[in-house]
Chains A and B, each alone.
Chain A
Amino acid sequence: MKDDVVIVGAGASGAAAAWKLASAGLRVTCLEQGGWVDPADTPSLRPDWEIARQTTHHPNPNVRQGPADYPVDDSEAAIKPFLYNAVGGSTILWGAHFPRFRPSDFRVRTLDGVADDWPISYEDLAPWYEENDRIMGVAGLSGDPGNPPRGPRQMPPVPPGVAATRMARAFDRLGWHWWPCDVAINTESYGEGRGACNNCGPCDLGCPQGARSATDVSYWPMALRAGVRLITGARVFEVETDAQGRATGVAYLDAAGQVQRHRAAVVALAANGLGTARLMLLSRSKRFPEGIANDTGLVGRRLMHHPTGMVTGTFADAVEGWRGPFAVSILCQEFYETDPTRDFVRGYQMQLIRSDGPVGTAVGGYLPRVPWGPGHHARFRQVFGHTASLTVTTEDLPRDDNRVTLSATLTDANGIPAPKMTYSLDDNTRRMIEHGIARATEAFTEAGAVDITPQRLVANAGFHLLGTACMGADPGASVVDARSRAHAVPNLVILDGSVFTTAAALNPTSTIQALALRAADLLIRDRKGIEVAA
């Protein structure tokens, strides 16, 4: 019997939608190219955990080269791709910083005359943000004047630690906004069998406490109970269509490398902004010679990241930045909205990052690598455990020439063309980063840092892959409609960050998941009327 929905990708968005659809009684299969990651196998239980970070657990698939990974041609990309391929998707490695977009993020054309408005508003999405928060479990505090009111957070915020407390006081003296981050990390037991954070630090290596809410431990147990059939080791290489261009299902290679076909009334793509664009471009047919639902040529275009500058302050005393979830404590949104007195449009957030372990400190990241040779040990002592960093996470406006295409030369282990990212920064972004570097420097100076080091662009920060199948009301200028359904293929739904019309300047996953839940609810509502293949 044919499924109601087949979902490609079991990450942040695929898991959320799978649970919702199956809970409404739909027959759902999810195909995932990776396997399960056992939280008890995390390298943070081993002495070589920092080596794993540089090798087997590196966020860049080109460095990691795991069996489920596909290579990415990033030779023409100023920002390198970071993602993970497994049940849980990139949330297996994520930092769990969980902000919502602001209302203005959905209205940049109306408010600022740039890019495009989303066809939905913050208010439209708000109920699904709330639902997703409840399932992921959010530690934080409502009452942030930087954002619209929201329901009580499920748990109290993570403690900020020495450096963030110091920076918070500096922000106060400067009269700038700051607030404890919303984070998808348990500060108390929450969810099914998920314990509280024990402040260990490297969330990116996995969490044996289950405190960090990756979707393998939050949504997936519920989704499986609701009846979702999850097939791992399944690499989808085509969305198949009938002569009218309606989706009939997908073709994939199973774990043994055999071609399989899976038919469904609705095909939903949740392979992230890179993987979904790749799959759509791979899915060529007579009706769609340039890739499925690509009548406009927009599939793969408008690739957005969050180009990030970084400023690191070194304090004379130790701030023990190795304690606590590395990516989250407080954020500052003082410079988030457009200000006509500045030389750029839109804005940025500053997110406080704690510091690193000894290997991370020595090889560099937040600071340049500690130089080898005679001065090495003295410099290491100066910086290890003495630093904190502020990101300058900017809004990236969409451009057609920033894009995902299929590589002409590179293929994955199955011979399927790899995606190629072509990406550069525009002048608006560069000016925004400069502004942010100056402000972050001011904040560290106010906080008493003895040394302040800026990075103008963190190349290793391609965590947020967005916009490659953009949402819009106009079928001639967008790929999906306000319900996340392809304009050109009525039974093709896109669940991941590909649909972002614009990127905001905030970590996207709570928005990706809220959109996926909304798309699923609208599918449940409309399913009798959706035109499907015979």
Chain B
Amino acid sequence: MSAALLLDTLLPGDEAFPPGHVVAEALAAHDRFGPALERILALLPEDFASQPPEARVTTLAAIEATHSEAFSALVLAAYSLYYTHPKVAAVLEASTGYRAGPPQPGGHALAPFDPALLAIPAVRAPLYRPTPEAET
């Protein structure tokens, strides 16, 4: 419960993006990221769940101020799982044109280089500095 609320405070969601608790289970079970969640959960006050949302933000900001490294580790973990979650990927695809999912093997079209772009720099005089060797 606290984990879900903690994640929802970090990533509240909006009209398109889901709230952070979508990754609560995956985060708790993750071999590298799980401990980061546990560390911050252990620092939450007992009444965290009953606090109003704005108070939870204040509570987390205070923990961030005193335990910045541990808190950063949690944010990294939460963002990493959140932005690779299928629901979030679907929002990204629908709203940005980004093709979520593995970059390979699909990639993106490799357009040919247009040499016309070089019209100005190509006619500049040499701008590297002469050295004694080059002068001989």
Interface residues of A (CB under 8 A from B): 42, 44-51, 54-55, 102-104, 106-107, 110-111, 121-123, 141, 143-148, 156-160, 165, 168, 171-172, 177-180, 187, 196-202, 208-209, 318, 320, 322-324, 333-334, 336-338, 357-359, 361-363, 369-370, 372-374, 376-378, 381, 384-385
Contacts and interface: CB of A to CB of B under 8 A. Distances in A.
B111 interface: yes
B121 interface: yes
Given A202-B103, A320-B97, A159 B110 contact: yes
23 contacts: A42-B104, A54-B76, A106-B131, A107-B131, A110-B131, A143-B122, A145-B126, A145-B127, A146-B126, A148-B128, A159-B112, A168-B117, A168-B121, A180-B113, A198-B108, A358-B88, A359-B79, A369-B75, A372-B10, A373-B57, A373-B60, A377-B12, A377-B13
A124 to B, nearest CB: 8
Interface size range of chain B in the complex: 35 or more
Given A121-B131, A159-B113, A377-B14, A177 B92 contact: no
Contacts of A318: 96-97
Nearest to A161: B111
A103 B127 contact: no
Given A121-B133, A177-B124, A363-B79, A377 B17 contact: yes
A103 B126 CA distance: 12
A401 B132 CA distance: 31
A168 B111 CA distance: 17
A530 B96 CA distance: 63
Contact of A199 (B16, B109, B115): B109
A46 B79 CA distance: 17
Contacts of B75: 363, 369, 372
B3 to A, nearest CB: 15
Interface string B38-65: 0000000000000000000100100000
Nearest to A207: B104
A202 B102 CA distance: 10
Interface in B66-82: 72, 75-76, 78-82
B10 A103 contact: no
Contacts of B1: none
Given A103-B128, A200-B108, A318-B96, 17 more contacts: A44-B103, A47-B102, A48-B84, A103-B134, A111-B129, A122-B131, A143-B122, A146-B127, A159-B110, A159-B114, A179-B118, A180-B118, A200-B104, A336-B128, A357-B83, A369-B72, A376-B10
Nearest to A155: B113
B10 A178 contact: no
A49 B132 contact: no
Contact of B129 (A102, A196, A334): A102
A198 B110 contact: yes
B92 to A, nearest CB: 6
A202 B79 CA distance: 18
A374 B12 contact: yes
Nearest to A56: B32
A106 B134 CA distance: 12
Nearest to A201: B103
A42 B60 CA distance: 36
Which 7 residue pairs are nearest across A and B when measured between Cβ atoms?
A198-B107, A200-B103, A358-B83, A200-B107, A372-B10, A362-B79, A104-B129
B108 A208 contact: no
A121 B132 CA distance: 9
Contacts of B13: 377
A159 B109 CA distance: 10
Contacts of B10: 372-373, 376
Given A177-B124, A201-B103, A103 B129 contact: yes
Contacts of A320: 97
